[in-house]
């Protein structure tokens, strides 16, 4: 791992710890009054993925860290990354039939296939349906 990537991963882990420690206080304040809906399109990819996995999917910090590390390795957090000679696409480098399923899922559900949010919705679909 390059120094840049290890520094970036360390920064993500620190952000994860800080966000998780603050998340319970934020949820207590807002939980009874209203739901705060994050605007994923205004976040950088790393924070949008972290927020979606921890808030929407309610995954543990360890699982979120594992998924973040995998996404960094696969696409360097680029939702428009193509790989494997044009047969894999996106944050998770969905390959061939899974790539086609990603596109179909996003189109059928009104999500932008090039967006972090659309791909996180598909990842959630894959994890919950399969």
What is the pLDDT at residue 41? 80
Structure-token match 């680029």, residue found: 78
Distances (CA, A) of 90 to 50, 74, 80, 93, 115: 16, 9, 5, 5, 9
Largest CA-CA distance found in the chain, in angstroms, rounded? 50
Q: Are 69 and 92 in contact (CB under 8 A)?
A: no
What is the pLDDT at residue 13? 66
Q: How far apart are CA 72 and CA 50, in angstroms?
A: 12
What is the pLDDT at residue 5? 65
In 3-state terms, what secondary structure has residue 89? strand
Q: Which CATH fold would you assign to the domain 3-129?
A: Lysozyme (1.10.530)
What is the pLDDT at residue 3? 60
Q: How many CB atoms lie within 10 A of CB 13?
A: 15
Per-residue tens of pLDDT for the chain, all 130 residues: 566 666 666 666 666 665 555 444 444 444 445 566 788 888 899 999 999 999 999 999 999 999 999 999 999 999 999 999 999 999 999 999 999 999 999 999 999 999 999 999 999 999 998 5
Domain boundaries, the chain: 3-129
């Amino acid at each position: 791992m390059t120094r840049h990537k290890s520094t970036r991963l360390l920064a993500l882990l620190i952000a994860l710890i800080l966000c998780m420690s603050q998340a319970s206080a934020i949820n207590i304040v807002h939980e009874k009054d209203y739901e705060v809906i994050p605007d994923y399109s205004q976040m950088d990819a790393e924070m949008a993925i972290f927020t979606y996995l921890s808030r929407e999917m309610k995954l543990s910090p360890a699982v979120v860290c594992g998924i973040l590390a995998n996404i960094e390795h696969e696409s360097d957090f680029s939702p428009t990354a193509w790989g494997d000679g044009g047969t894999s696409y996106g944050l998770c480098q969905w390959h061939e039939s899974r790539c086609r399923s990603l596109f179909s899922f996003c189109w059928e559900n009104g999500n932008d296939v090039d967006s972090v949010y659309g791909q996180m919705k598909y990842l959630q679909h894959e994890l919950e349906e399969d």
